[in-house]
Amino acid sequence: MMRRCELPARDLRLLDPLFVYPSTVLGRERAIVVNLEQIRCVITADEVLLLNSLDSYVLQYAAELQRRLLQRAEGDELPFEFRALELALEAACSFLDAQAAELEIEAYPLLDELTSKISTLNLERVRRLKSRLVALTRRVQKVRDEIEQLMDDDGDMAEMYLTEKKMRMESSVFGDQSLLGYNSAGAAGTSVSAPVSPVSSPTESRKLEKTFSLCRSRHDSTKGSDNTTTEHIQELEMLLEAYFVVIDSTLNKLTSLKEYIDDTEDFINIQLDNVRNQLIQFELLLTTATFVVAIFGVVAGIFGMNFETSVFKIENAFQWVLVITSVVGVFIFCSFLWFFKYKRLMPL
Amino acid sequence: MMRRCELPARDLRLLDPLFVYPSTVLGRERAIVVNLEQIRCVITADEVLLLNSLDSYVLQYAAELQRRLLQRAEGDELPFEFRALELALEAACSFLDAQAAELEIEAYPLLDELTSKISTLNLERVRRLKSRLVALTRRVQKVRDEIEQLMDDDGDMAEMYLTEKKMRMESSVFGDQSLLGYNSAGAAGTSVSAPVSPVSSPTESRKLEKTFSLCRSRHDSTKGSDNTTTEHIQELEMLLEAYFVVIDSTLNKLTSLKEYIDDTEDFINIQLDNVRNQLIQFELLLTTATFVVAIFGVVAGIFGMNFETSVFKIENAFQWVLVITSVVGVFIFCSFLWFFKYKRLMPL
Amino acid sequence: MMRRCELPARDLRLLDPLFVYPSTVLGRERAIVVNLEQIRCVITADEVLLLNSLDSYVLQYAAELQRRLLQRAEGDELPFEFRALELALEAACSFLDAQAAELEIEAYPLLDELTSKISTLNLERVRRLKSRLVALTRRVQKVRDEIEQLMDDDGDMAEMYLTEKKMRMESSVFGDQSLLGYNSAGAAGTSVSAPVSPVSSPTESRKLEKTFSLCRSRHDSTKGSDNTTTEHIQELEMLLEAYFVVIDSTLNKLTSLKEYIDDTEDFINIQLDNVRNQLIQFELLLTTATFVVAIFGVVAGIFGMNFETSVFKIENAFQWVLVITSVVGVFIFCSFLWFFKYKRLMPL
Amino acid sequence: MMRRCELPARDLRLLDPLFVYPSTVLGRERAIVVNLEQIRCVITADEVLLLNSLDSYVLQYAAELQRRLLQRAEGDELPFEFRALELALEAACSFLDAQAAELEIEAYPLLDELTSKISTLNLERVRRLKSRLVALTRRVQKVRDEIEQLMDDDGDMAEMYLTEKKMRMESSVFGDQSLLGYNSAGAAGTSVSAPVSPVSSPTESRKLEKTFSLCRSRHDSTKGSDNTTTEHIQELEMLLEAYFVVIDSTLNKLTSLKEYIDDTEDFINIQLDNVRNQLIQFELLLTTATFVVAIFGVVAGIFGMNFETSVFKIENAFQWVLVITSVVGVFIFCSFLWFFKYKRLMPL
Amino acid sequence: MMRRCELPARDLRLLDPLFVYPSTVLGRERAIVVNLEQIRCVITADEVLLLNSLDSYVLQYAAELQRRLLQRAEGDELPFEFRALELALEAACSFLDAQAAELEIEAYPLLDELTSKISTLNLERVRRLKSRLVALTRRVQKVRDEIEQLMDDDGDMAEMYLTEKKMRMESSVFGDQSLLGYNSAGAAGTSVSAPVSPVSSPTESRKLEKTFSLCRSRHDSTKGSDNTTTEHIQELEMLLEAYFVVIDSTLNKLTSLKEYIDDTEDFINIQLDNVRNQLIQFELLLTTATFVVAIFGVVAGIFGMNFETSVFKIENAFQWVLVITSVVGVFIFCSFLWFFKYKRLMPL
């Protein structure tokens, strides 16, 4: 396979299903190495080599690809490799968007539940949710960066216009030889006829120009092919732009979810702190009350001592002790309340 | 509609009212795809196709657009598509600014109330406010980034100069044919005559040049049209600059609000912690006092035991016990106070 | 006024004193729109139109501007608009620096006070300080970004060289006509003679070149004027560089202050947590002591029950009970202390 | 050695094993200075000078390098210096990836253990883990930035194509002299014959062109060599791209781990707060219960006082006191419970 | 001095020792304004004007500069101004690195001490350390940014090649006049002979070319001098690259230290929270125990009341009451323990 696409071993290693490398789109001399989520393939000018072709998701991609290529006959100016790339982007975008939507559906009710009832179970679920969110955000971010980088670099986009490169190479090698009769078979069963013939015409006209004008030929021809190339690159850029908006929208969703989680955590933290303060306020009130009651108990204890004093003989001493102690106790309690209110420790 | 503007399906999908894609301005071959907040339209060289035309907000935009285009006759050098784009920008900016102002009016009193009274209800309201703020900030940020990106990329701005592109195309196809008689009808009822005639003159003068000089024609003509284009692009850049300042000011407001919320949350956290420490300080004081009272109670309990000892016969033992225990209790309490003060645990 | 400077309404709106737009410096066809803090003016090739001219701060700027322009006669090669811009930058920089210094003087003592005494009043003051700091930082940042952006974009700087542009325009319109006799009156009373004459000489020499060589004239002339322009742009760049360092230094101060506040808040948080832990440690100790005392009290209570048992008849039972209970109480208390120390909960 | 590679002392200082400088790849006139993790070497057009050659890791690199260079004879178009650089990158990437994998294996179980059991020991281990993670992340980040910077700067990559530079220099010095007979011996025992001969042909053909055409020679020759150089630079860029993906994947792993740690810490913080609130809730409940019990105790104490009142003579007073006090106590306790529930302080 | 170096007042103001501006290196027409930490100087093509020359640190720099310039005679191709700049960079880098190392030596033991013993004193020291760290990091960052900015901008570097500029100016003014006889005296006593003569040769050869070819002279000469300039700029870039790595390594150290502090603070926060939870757990246990003891006390109090009931006459009632109450108390306590364990509040 390496020989077929003229790819070095180190590029193919990136598609190895055993390792999980981040999403990448690399333009090479004769192939585009695509590693977008599940879809790991090598796109050449007239083939798509799918690597992990047993995955149901990838099979779906292959079927869709074949279906679309059949439609192509109805007139579509995009070269083969761009169509394959578009389909890979579309598949990756919709896959990621579906995962993001799934995460959203799960997350929002869970977070709202968490604000009303904080339990270890819910916290654990939110933690797992965050792990998944971070992982998904990274993957979406990676795809987005890859698209953005491709759009920014015209050279990379030109490099991807494989059909043009192949044409040029062939025309320089075979001359006017027939360009028909290519057999292309995808490694994963994707067999499509290469979109060679319609694109070959500019090359031929270029050849004519070459014989016509000697000194200007080279300049013009490059100009001429440049025009076609530039047009196709612009189409590729527009294609990428559209999917960039889609993946950016997915990323937006995930970032919103992340910020919602962060806000919820802030809310929970302040809420927990606030509840704790209220709990401690009541505890302080109860401690104050217990203190007053303890004083009452001490008074009762004092008069329960077995000493023989004349106090016990005083008339109505029992009532007086109870009344005086009660009044003092209530006074102490109210003083504390007033003091706490004065210190603004309690919203009494 | 796709055929009319030569837009691929994937671009129009971005305007679909069912999906909420972030704000985007895409320059295409014959149209500008605008998705700024409510306003989702396709601007061509002489039409504006409004998509969600039933929305009251969009109707207002359409009315304003028609009004302005009538004023145009009084002499304004901007091409049709730039005027439509400007109006869309203005509408989006003022819409977002109004929403930001509304949020501000609601937020500041709520936050100041929160600092004086922290309740679950207020916290919940602040949380909802933050969600709205984050969502609005993202939308404003998106519009701002879109404007900035357009300003940075001269190529994109040139791409948007549709009138010029159309002129060039027509002049190359129809030659000196009459350019009059265009019928343009907006899909949403916006029907305006295209600003074609005044702009066509530079094209014709260019044609003259072409016949005049053979070898230099191409170079000069591109120079000539470049001058006009550059001028118009500069006007577009200035237009974008002005709205960039406006949207940047809105973003500034929102960022300030966000930081005000963050500062308030920091303040509340420290304040809650501080109040809690004060509560615990008083609780510690009361625990100390209760401890002393408990010692007193134990002393009383000891002398309330039913053992027969000679202690109870001692004269004035009752008074002595009370006095000694009280003195010891006060001493213990004061020792604790001094100790806490020494440890700097309390600001006594 | 719009007609005078050929500015569209949307640019002038940015200078509207009723709205607070962030700092902006916009280079336009015949004017520089300056909105730096208080100073909102339009600088043309020979006028400065001050908008909010009643402000004392702006009057000071106008006076300084007149004074400097008089000094100009002593030989200074900077064009009029650059001198006005420099003065506006200087005024804005020194104004912001003064405000930053004021904030610093207020902040550091307050923060140091806060670390030793955390009170609601101090926290509230720090919060207000942070609001002011954030607002000021944003304004400084905005001015800094504006200067940086101007420096990075040579085109924008060239656009600002209004004198040159005016010269070129006039020379192309009036030919060899006299360039003398300009009347320029600032809207705010700033009336200065335009620095026209010395700069007009290169234009004239350029005209000579034009008559001398036909085919090379255009190329050379742009080269020639380019040299002068480039030189002036370099001077503008150096001017901006110098003020960039000044405003960067102000921004540095504010960022340092911000980080000092953040560090202080971290310190306060850990300090509050630490003090709270110590408070709870003492409370735990006291709870332990109270527990022991309560056990003593229960023992006393048991022997205070009115049951008739033989226990009360035992000799010295009173002493024995007291001694045994005390020993057990002390043992329990020490066990707890040892246990807390073993668990590393207390630094005993 | 400085003379051999024409490197200034300051560049060699960066390779000093005593100092730990961050990873760097510097392209110099006749050498590439490589400092990637353990591997510190100077690569010239036909030598690799390894500095810390006693390290087992570096010896392995040297062995692998020799092995690969022997394979080279089987046809590989990469120049010597790129092959050496690739091997150094591969060694550094796999080394860092191995360390990252090791850290991951250790971290995840530890963090999951921490969520279920928070102990000082576990916290201390997590802290050490974070230190190692931060250090490793920085090193990976540094290598990644270095690769990215090289890829972005075509000039730097061209500078690294030492073989080409050497060829050009020799051809201009020695003319048609034989280029054979180079002896190259690596300082660390790496002795390889320089890949000179096959690359020298374009130089010679260039010389021919020089004699052929006078005025165009220089332009063409640079064009010609430029083509070869550009091709090799593209190969270098592809090589760097592949290793960039690998190191980026390692960085991704580490960032994921970092975010997992952060999420775990957030989780632990909320969990600790939540548990604390529950503890305080139970303490409040117990304080309430103790308060009720204390009231009961006071009632008992009151009737245990030694006053002589008629209360004690009432029939069944004992039972009535117990019943009434119990009912009142239960009522007080239930009131508190209802109040706490009403205040939403407890999820009863 | 302003006249000597043709520097405007605003540039010299940046060197004012009274103000502390961030590190800056500005390339001016005839001088480089250097403000790197202590070293504030103006470097011209053959002079170094040191401003704060009394500082011991700066004197050392001057001495080293003189020593190196003497060595120069032994053959070094760097122009005078680059050598002076290199020395200033070296001095600043080593000064900052020394300060960073000092900070590191102080910080790590302090932080490790803090994890084992959190005291107000240690916290205060860490806070001061952080202030110093932040200030130093900013200064290092500033120097690093300045170097990076210089490296990125080829124009700025070319501007700094003062010798070349001076040569060109002189050759255009004096023609073949003798270039000898310059007197240069550093303001701070640094008197060095300018490296004029050896560098003047390319200028002369250029002059020859000028007389030789008329039409190509200008182009070639610029090319020729460009080659020399480009070479020198490349040398300057390599020089800056080397010091960039050094200062980047210092910055790395400081960032590591900052992250170590942050991790330690996170650790301390979780640790404090964890210890607090354990403290509250024990307090809850003790409160439970106290509650049980209080119930026991109430039972004792009940039977201590002076009512006359038949209960007191029951045989062995004393024992039965004790046994039953004890069993109930133990049962209540164990129920609470089981409940806390069930609620996962305590790791029993």
User: Which of E265, E262, E254 minimizes the C-alpha distance to E104?
Assistant: E254
Single-letter amino acid, residue E304: G
Tens digit of pLDDT for each residue in E50-88?
A: 776 666 777 777 787 777 777 654 555 667 777 788 888
Q: Cα separation of E95 and A12, whole Å?
A: 49
State both tokens at A52: 């992990």
State both tokens at A102: 């799934």
Ranking A264-268, B213-217, C78-82 by mean pLDDT, the lowest is B213-217
Is the dihedral angle over the CA atoms A143, A147, A148, A152 positive or is it negative?
Answer: positive
**ipTM summary value:** 0.79
Q: Give the C-alpha distances (Å, rounded to integers) separating B295 from A224, A289, A297, B302, E299.
A: 104, 18, 12, 10, 19
Q: Are C256 and E132 in contact (CB under 8 A)?
A: no
Cβ distance of C239 and E14 shorter than 8 Å: no
Single-letter amino acid, residue D28: R
Q: Count CB neighbours of A118 within 10 A.
A: 21
For chain C, what is the radius of gyration of the CA atoms? 39
Backbone angles phi, psi at D336, to 5 degrees: -60, -45
pLDDT along chain E (348 residues), means of 10: 64 69 74 78 77 71 76 61 82 88 92 85 90 90 86 72 71 49 36 33 35 37 52 75 86 91 90 90 92 90 80 79 91 92 80
Running DSSP on this structure, what letter comes out for residue C187?
A: T
The whole-number pLDDT of residue C45 equals: 74
In chain B, whose CA is at the least distance from the CA of C119? B274
| Residue environment code for D151-183, b if the CB has 16+ CB neighbours within 10 A, otherwise e | beeeeebbbbbbbbbbbeebbeeeeeeebeeee
Diameter over CA atoms, chain D: 141
The whole-number pLDDT of residue B42 equals: 80
In chain C, whose CA is at the least distance from the CA of B248? C22
In chain B, whose CA is at the least distance from the CA of C153? B152
* pLDDT, mean over chain C: 74
Residues in chain B: 348
- Chain E residues within 8 A of C313 when measuring between CB atoms: none
Tens digit of pLDDT for each residue in C273-295?
A: 998 998 999 999 999 999 999 99
Q: Which of B264, B270, B301 sits opposite C304 (nearest CB)?
A: B301
Q: Are D304 and E305 in contact (CB under 8 A)?
A: yes
Residues 6+ apart with CB under 8 A from E321: C305, C307, E299, E303
A302 — pLDDT class (breaks 50, 70, 90): confident
- Chain A residues within 8 A of B263 when measuring between CB atoms: none
Secondary structure in 3-state letters for D266-319: HHHHHHHHHHHHHHHHHHHHHHHHHHHHHHHHHHHHHHCCCCCCHHHHCCCHHH
Q: Which of D238, D255, D284 sits opposite A283 (nearest CB)?
A: D284
Residues in chain C: 348
Tens digit of pLDDT for each residue in A59-84?
A: 777 787 777 777 654 555 667 777 78
Beta bridge partners of residue D39, listed in sequence order: D36
In chain C, whose CA is at the least distance from the CA of E323? C302
Please, which chains are in contact with A (at least 3 CB pairs closer than 8 A)? B, D
Beta bridge partners of residue D31, listed in sequence order: D44
Q: Which of C8, C278, C312 sits opposite B306 (nearest CB)?
A: C312
Strand order in the sheet with E24-27: E24-27, E31-36, E39-44, E48-50
Please, which chains are in contact with B (at least 3 CB pairs closer than 8 A)? A, C
Q: How many CB pairs under 8 A join D and E?
A: 140
The whole-number pLDDT of residue A214 equals: 35
Q: Cα separation of D34 and D89, whole Å?
A: 9
- Chain C residues within 8 A of E123 when measuring between CB atoms: 267, 270-271, 274
Best of C243, C261, C268, C305 to disrupt the E interface by mutation (most E CBs within 10 Å)?
Answer: C305
The residue among C67 and A287 whose pLDDT is bigger is: A287
Q: Where are the alpha helices (DSSP H) in chain C?
A: 2-5, 9-13, 56-71, 80-116, 120-152, 154-160, 162-174, 197-212, 217-302, 317-342
User: Which of C197, C165, C205, C136 minimizes the C-alpha distance to C27?
Assistant: C165
Q: Are D142 and D22 in contact (CB under 8 A)?
A: yes
The residue among A159 and C191 whose pLDDT is bigger is: A159
Q: Which of E120, E296, E317 sits opposite C307 (nearest CB)?
A: E317
Cβ distance of B284 and C283 shorter than 8 Å: yes
The secondary structure element, H or E, covering residue A122 is helix A120-152
Tens digit of pLDDT for each residue in E113-153?
A: 888 888 888 888 998 999 999 989 988 988 888 888 887 77
pLDDT exceeds cutoff 60 at A120: yes
The whole-number pLDDT of residue B101 equals: 92
- Chain B residues within 8 A of C124 when measuring between CB atoms: 115, 267
C190 — pLDDT class (breaks 50, 70, 90): very low
The whole-number pLDDT of residue B226 equals: 52
Is the whole-model pTM more than 0.95? no
Q: How far is CA B299 from the centre of its chain?
A: 70
Per-residue pLDDT of chain D (348 residues; tens, 9 = 90+): 556 666 676 677 777 666 667 777 777 777 788 887 777 788 877 777 777 666 777 777 778 777 777 765 455 566 777 778 888 888 888 889 999 999 999 999 999 888 888 888 888 899 899 999 998 998 898 888 888 888 777 767 776 777 767 777 677 655 444 333 333 333 333 333 333 333 333 333 333 333 333 333 334 444 444 556 666 677 777 788 888 888 888 998 899 899 999 999 989 999 889 989 989 999 999 999 999 999 998 888 888 887 777 777 777 788 888 899 999 999 999 999 999 888 888 876
Q: Cα separation of E53 and E62, whole Å?
A: 9
Q: Which of E135, E276, E297 sits opposite C277 (nearest CB)?
A: E276
The whole-number pLDDT of residue A81 equals: 76
- Chain D residues within 8 A of E87 when measuring between CB atoms: none
Single-letter amino acid, residue C112: D
User: Which of D204, D252, D203, D248 minimizes the C-alpha distance to D228?
Assistant: D203
Q: In chain B, which stretches have pLDDT less than 70?
A: 1-7, 9-10, 16-20, 52-55, 71-78, 155, 159, 164, 169, 172-232, 348
Cβ distance of A266 and B268 shorter than 8 Å: no
- Chain A residues within 8 A of B322 when measuring between CB atoms: 302
Grouping H, G, I as helix, E, B as strand and the rest as coil, residue A39 is strand
Q: Are E348 and E337 in contact (CB under 8 A)?
A: yes
Q: Cα separation of B35 and B24, whole Å?
A: 5
Please, which chains are in contact with D (at least 3 CB pairs closer than 8 A)? A, E
Provide the shortest C-alpha distance from residue D96 to chain E (in Å): 18
Best of D111, D241, D271, D281 to disrupt the A interface by mutation (most A CBs within 10 Å)?
Answer: D241
pLDDT exceeds cutoff 70 at C172: no
Ranking B204-208, B326-330, C55-59, C238-242 by mean pLDDT, the lowest is B204-208
State both tokens at C304: 């205070």
The residue among C192 and A112 whose pLDDT is bigger is: A112
The whole-number pLDDT of residue A287 equals: 92
